[in-house]
Copies of this chain bind each other. A is one copy, B any other.
Amino acid sequence: MRFDQIKSGMVIEGGRRTVTEAEIIEFATRYDPQWFHTDPVRARDSRWKGLISSGWMTCSIAMELAVKSVLATSESIGSPGVEQLKWLNPVRPGDELELRMEVLETRHSRSGAVGIVKWRWMLTTQAAVQVLELTATSLFQIR
């Protein structure tokens, strides 16, 4: 999707994919080795009642879906940051996560060379539980 096809008010469906216990443990072992992300037995008897994903893995899955659905075929050149990143509920093994992107604003940089999109990403499970919400700014090289 090209920058000039992304319009304020648009809602873009980003597709879905399933999370496995092996991926949760592998990611967390490397980047977020806290027991509720790496130890299914200890996690089962805790307030979390089972293993949950690192929040950074949840964000990474949202990114994966955004790249596949929109950014890979765009003029994307990166992002300066994110506002209001909320991990609303835990992500668990077997969850199928679905991404939805609401375009809040599009504009051009002062020079006109860069397109700027502000959009809200929401990740929801197969049970309609919202697990992630964030507002990202993305940049596109348009000439």
Q: Which A residues fall within an 8 A CB radius of B?
A: 27, 30-34, 36, 47-48, 52, 54-56, 59-61, 63-64, 67-68, 71-72, 76-88, 90, 141
Contact = CB atoms under 8 A, between A and B. Distances in A.
A117 to B, nearest CB: 15
Q: How many identical subunits does the complex contain?
A: 2
Given A56-B56, A59-B56, A34 B76 contact: yes
Nearest to A33: B67
Q: Report which residue of A77, A88, A141 has the largest number of chain B beta carbons within 10 angstroms of its beta carbon.
A: A77
A30 B86 contact: no
A79 B87 contact: yes
A122 B79 CA distance: 17
